[in-house]
Chain A
Amino acid sequence: MRKALLLAGAVLLAVAGAAGAQTPRSGGLLKFAVGAEPPNYDCHANSSFAFIHPVRPHYNTLLKFDTTKYPAVKGDLAESWTVAKDGLTYTFRLRKGVKFHDGTTFTAEDIKATYERIRKPPQGVLSLREAAYVDISSIETPDPNTVVFKLSKPNASMLSNFASPWDCVYSAARLKKDPRFPERNIMGTGPFTFEEHVAGSHWRGRRFKDYFEKGKPYLEGFLAIFVAGAPMVNALAAGEVLAEFRGHSPADRDRIVKTLGDKAVVQESPWVCSLVVTFNTKKKPFDDARVRRALSVAIDRWGGAQALSKVALVRHVGGVLRPGYEFAANEKELMSYPGFSKDVNGSRAQAKKLLQETGVPNLTFTLTNRNVAMPYTPVGVFLIDQWRQIGVNVKHDQLETKLYLAAQQRDNPTFDAALDFNCDFMDEPNLQLLKYLSHDRSAINYAQQTDRTLDDLFDKQSGELDRKKRYAILRDFERRALDQAYTIPTIWWHRIIVTNRALKGWHITPSHYVGQDLTDVWLE
């Protein structure tokens, strides 16, 4: 009871804090925890929150997500923009008077050099997001404050892509001298300059005095401390760090709130992350859609979400897109898909019948999982229990990441079924659906299937600028994906962030990658 009251109080405080407008104060060092460490300093070559949280405050991007109105975007280095009606030309007017940390002036050439590096990386440069910009045919800079992107075909996700936190804008002059300069150096236009990185320990940034937004950032500096697990929870509880921006389990949230009392502020949100089950379609009997469908139908997602949300960071039932997102299926549509009915007994009977039909009523297989407790273990255990209830016997194989990935390797996959994650920096079908594309089109599809119907539907929705039409195509895609069940969604994650009351100006979003430039953050 006491715990519930404390938690309720903390949530109320969050709401009250958000509602009551306070004047930001300048100064102070923000200490926050980061659960891992960036391997190098290049935004274009990284994909982990461990990178974004300490590095993003040093850079700007063309656009950025407005964390108070997510998924709306706003200008970062762009002051304004226009998109041609045919969706083939994006014109950005850039801010004037923006300086890099080395004192040089930012121009459109820096945007051009940055995006050329991402879409066509020079020899020896790694870019993880070439595919996102494959539709760009040219980048032009008619004047120092204008940049024009021309596309070869319409792309519904292009504007949001320009708000990607991974697309840090680099100096064209530095890139010209050395295209690999950003791997080992931090030099952007962002609100904080780089001070030091002590490997394995911490990362420190200091306020950039010439930042283009006058009066910002409010903080004098930040110190990102690399700490994970129980020590991180202890550090938050002791007030040694004021936040950890990825997310906590319900148990950790309760512990921090209990210790911090009224100093704790809890913010919660659905999360653009989900655990999916991948079936190895190259292996019998998972080459049969009926077997895969039976295993999907047997999962009581609604009951599971309710029960698991008490112990794990999963809570929401959804299809291939995050529930609540404008392009996601609503509950009525969802319930019409295989595996999403609320009639548990009926679904289990249907699953048993399907297995009977395929001649594997007493199916036995191994679920390959990773040895990461949260949320992999509870979800794995839940799935195995669900399958047990239709007479399927599943061995739970929790492996360390290297072996887990080895079991799913593309050339010689050895797994039967695996619990995999799908996590992106924003809600966007072009990102979340990659998991469901044919394996020759997607490096993150471990199910190994080839399904040109799904591929065609993906391409159709990707090029569709009319939102209603895109929504309809996405439903066709979703129905087909869940019917074939190569890869099936389980339960979507729920993001819980506990911050110290002293931290202000930070807003939770469904993505732990966005809203981390710390420009608007201040300390009470």
Chain B
Amino acid sequence: MLRYIIHRLLLMLPTLFGVAVLVFFLLRLAPGDPLAMMFEGANVSKEVIEGERARLGLDQPMIVQFGKWLVGIMHGDFGVSLWTGRPVLYEIGIRLQLSLQVAIMATILAVLIAVPLGTLSAIFKDSWIDHLVRIISIAGLAVPSFWLGMIIILLLLTYFSWIPPLTFTPFFEDPWKNMSQLIWPALAVGYRYSAVAMRMMRSSVLEVLQEDYVRTARAKGVYERLVVSRHAMRNALLPVVTVVGLEFAFLIGGLVVTEQVFNLNGIGKLFVQAVARGDYTMIQGLVLLVAVFFVMINFAIDMLYALLDPRIRYR
């Protein structure tokens, strides 16, 4: 098992290096000059612009810039934002708390909705329960999270003349204020997220219920509740874990529009701002962060697989 873990951890390094190379060079090959963005509308001389370019190190050959960036990363320094001049890690750090909390809340909501409803839907296949769950899940897939978010905001505004707080308060500072801001985006995102997982859970349970070992358990006279909870659900969870894990990683940087709708100071909003400003170092840092999340979550899923299915460990 230890060898398996080390092997998987080592495989992360070339993946992350590949991401670093791609993001660094693609950004610089794309048309546009971040300095032009900084001085847009200002009547400044070419000398001033070139002075700034030199100060930011953007006048150096691309390969030198890349080398310096890599060396910095190895020392835990991701550089400074071209736009704000503040360290990239600082900018990401203050937003990561919010993004992580929304992602965790949405995941918990999604799992709490998807696992029981998906299972019920499979057990009571073609009954009214199944139809109802399918309607709920298909509606969830069809409705974009940001649209649901907008509807939530409009309803709150129309009926209560109230909108969620615009600034973030950490949970341990003021749990009520924290939740009153984040529960709404978590609901909007969690619903769509749960729909994906619900569909997966239903088909997975349906498939498992046809397996020989389930039939054997039933033939042995095991209670139906135990058949479902001990034999079917545990095995049916494997593909659901994958979906939930990947969705979670996506939520860290992918809530671009939802964060705009709720004015959340999260990673997605930072991503959009960095791209709009041509802030190379910030984009690089963010892409790497998301890549690290994806790689780590994939790793965690693999570990969970090994836990849920002992055969994987023995291979």
Chain A interfacial positions (CB closer than 8 Å to B)? 39-40, 47, 124, 126, 128, 131, 183-184, 198-202, 225-227, 229-232, 234-235, 237-241, 259, 400-403, 405-406, 409-410, 421, 423, 434, 442-444
Asked if B199 lies at the interface with its beta carbon under 8 angstroms from chain A, I say no
Contact present for B265 and A231 (CB under 8 Å): no
Complexed CA–CA distance, A238 and B165 (Å): 11
Q: Which residues in B have their C-beta under 8 angstroms from that of A225?
A: 166-167, 263
Contact present for A200 and B95 (CB under 8 Å): yes
Complexed CA–CA distance, A200 and B273 (Å): 10
Over the window 159-197 of chain B, the binary record of Cβ atoms lying under 8 Å from chain A Cβ atoms (1 yes, 0 no) is 001110111100000000000000000000000000000
- Shortest Cβ distance from residue B310 to the other chain A in the assembled complex, whole angstroms: 46
- Shortest Cβ distance from residue A153 to the other chain B in the assembled complex, whole angstroms: 19
Given contacts A198-B167, A238-B162, A259-B157, contact A403 B31 (CB under 8 A): yes
Asked if B207 lies at the interface with its beta carbon under 8 angstroms from chain A, I say no
Chain B interfacial positions (CB closer than 8 Å to A)? 31-34, 36-46, 48, 51-52, 55, 83-86, 90-91, 94-95, 150, 153-154, 157, 161-163, 165-168, 260-263, 265, 269-270, 273, 276-278
8 examples of A-B residue contacts, CB within 8 angstroms: A198-B265, A199-B84, A225-B263, A227-B166, A235-B166, A238-B161, A238-B162, A410-B46
- Shortest Cβ distance from residue B4 to the other chain A in the assembled complex, whole angstroms: 40
* Partner among B31, B167, B262, B277 whose Cβ is within 8 Å of the Cβ of A406: B31
Question: Which chain A residue lies CB-closest to B262?
Answer: A231
Contact present for A402 and B166 (CB under 8 Å): no
Contact present for B85 and A183 (CB under 8 Å): yes
Q: Which residues in A have their C-beta under 8 angstroms from that of B52?
A: 126
- Shortest Cβ distance from residue A376 to the other chain B in the assembled complex, whole angstroms: 14
Q: Which residues in A have their C-beta under 8 angstroms from that of B51?
A: 126
Q: Which residues in B have their C-beta under 8 angstroms from that of A241?
A: 166
Q: Which residues in A have their C-beta under 8 angstroms from that of B45?
A: 443
Given contacts A39-B84, A227-B166, contact A201 B46 (CB under 8 A): no
Question: Which chain B residue lies CB-closest to A232?
Answer: B263
* Partner among A131, A200, A229 whose Cβ is within 8 Å of the Cβ of B265: A200
Contact present for A443 and B84 (CB under 8 Å): no
Given contacts A237-B157, A238-B163, A259-B157, contact A405 B43 (CB under 8 A): no
Q: A200-B270, A235-B163, A406-B31 are in contact. List 4 more A-B contacts (CB 8 A).
A: A47-B42, A231-B166, A443-B43, A443-B45
Question: Which chain A residue lies CB-closest to B270?
Answer: A200
Contact present for B41 and A423 (CB under 8 Å): yes
Q: Which residues in A have their C-beta under 8 angstroms from that of B278?
A: 402
* Partner among B34, B48, B153, B265 whose Cβ is within 8 Å of the Cβ of A234: B153
Contact present for A443 and B44 (CB under 8 Å): yes
Contact present for A199 and B86 (CB under 8 Å): yes
Contact present for B157 and A40 (CB under 8 Å): no
Contact present for A402 and B32 (CB under 8 Å): yes
Q: Which residues in B have their C-beta under 8 angstroms from that of A184?
A: 85
Contact present for B269 and A443 (CB under 8 Å): no
Complexed CA–CA distance, A400 and B263 (Å): 21
Contact present for A128 and B36 (CB under 8 Å): no
Contact present for A231 and B263 (CB under 8 Å): yes
Complexed CA–CA distance, A79 and B163 (Å): 45
- Shortest Cβ distance from residue A247 to the other chain B in the assembled complex, whole angstroms: 16
Complexed CA–CA distance, A276 and B277 (Å): 23
Contact present for A405 and B83 (CB under 8 Å): no
* Partner among A40, A131, A201, A227 whose Cβ is within 8 Å of the Cβ of B85: A40
Q: Which residues in B have their C-beta under 8 angstroms from that of A230?
A: 150, 261
Given contacts A201-B265, A230-B150, A406-B32, contact A124 B55 (CB under 8 A): yes
Question: Which chain B residue lies CB-closest to A444?
Answer: B43
Which of B34, B46, B52, B166 gathers the greatest number of chain A CB atoms within 10 Å?
B166
Contact present for A199 and B94 (CB under 8 Å): yes
Question: Which chain A residue lies CB-closest to B35?
Answer: A405
- Shortest Cβ distance from residue B197 to the other chain A in the assembled complex, whole angstroms: 29
- Shortest Cβ distance from residue A44 to the other chain B in the assembled complex, whole angstroms: 11
Contact present for A128 and B166 (CB under 8 Å): no
Question: Which chain B residue lies CB-closest to A410?
Answer: B46
- Shortest Cβ distance from residue A517 to the other chain B in the assembled complex, whole angstroms: 22
Question: Which chain B residue lies CB-closest to A131?
Answer: B43
Contact present for B37 and A405 (CB under 8 Å): yes
- Shortest Cβ distance from residue B89 to the other chain A in the assembled complex, whole angstroms: 12
Q: Which residues in B have their C-beta under 8 angstroms from that of A409?
A: 33, 36
Complexed CA–CA distance, A226 and B37 (Å): 20
Q: Which residues in B have their C-beta under 8 angstroms from that of A239?
A: 161
Q: Which residues in A have their C-beta under 8 angstroms from that of B270?
A: 200
Contact present for A229 and B260 (CB under 8 Å): yes
Question: Which chain B residue lies CB-closest to A40?
Answer: B85
Question: Which chain B residue lies CB-closest to A184?
Answer: B85
Question: Which chain A residue lies CB-closest to B49?
Answer: A443
Complexed CA–CA distance, A521 and B276 (Å): 34
Contact present for B94 and A200 (CB under 8 Å): yes
Given contacts A200-B95, A200-B265, A238-B157, contact A405 B42 (CB under 8 A): no
Q: Which residues in B have their C-beta under 8 angstroms from that of A238?
A: 157, 161-163
Q: Which residues in B have their C-beta under 8 angstroms from that of A201?
A: 167-168, 265
- Shortest Cβ distance from residue A157 to the other chain B in the assembled complex, whole angstroms: 13
Q: Which residues in A have their C-beta under 8 angstroms from that of B84?
A: 39-40, 199
Q: Which residues in B have their C-beta under 8 angstroms from that of A237?
A: 157
* Partner among B36, B40, B91, B153 whose Cβ is within 8 Å of the Cβ of A199: B91
Q: Which residues in B have their C-beta under 8 angstroms from that of A259?
A: 157, 161
Question: Which chain B residue lies CB-closest to A225?
Answer: B166
Complexed CA–CA distance, A235 and B157 (Å): 9
- Shortest Cβ distance from residue B177 to the other chain A in the assembled complex, whole angstroms: 13
Contact present for B44 and A231 (CB under 8 Å): no
Which of A47, A199, A423 gathers the greatest number of chain B CB atoms within 10 Å?
A199
Q: Which residues in B have their C-beta under 8 angstroms from that of A434?
A: 43
- Shortest Cβ distance from residue A410 to the other chain B in the assembled complex, whole angstroms: 7
Contact present for A442 and B163 (CB under 8 Å): no
* Partner among B32, B55, B91 whose Cβ is within 8 Å of the Cβ of A405: B32
Question: Which chain A residue lies CB-closest to B164?
Answer: A240
Complexed CA–CA distance, A403 and B33 (Å): 9
Complexed CA–CA distance, A126 and B153 (Å): 42
Complexed CA–CA distance, A238 and B46 (Å): 46
Q: Which residues in B have their C-beta under 8 angstroms from that of A124?
A: 55
- Shortest Cβ distance from residue B266 to the other chain A in the assembled complex, whole angstroms: 8
* Partner among B40, B262, B269 whose Cβ is within 8 Å of the Cβ of A401: B40
Q: Which residues in B have their C-beta under 8 angstroms from that of A232?
A: 263
Q: Which residues in B have their C-beta under 8 angstroms from that of A200?
A: 91, 94-95, 265, 269-270, 273
Question: Which chain A residue lies CB-closest to B261?
Answer: A231
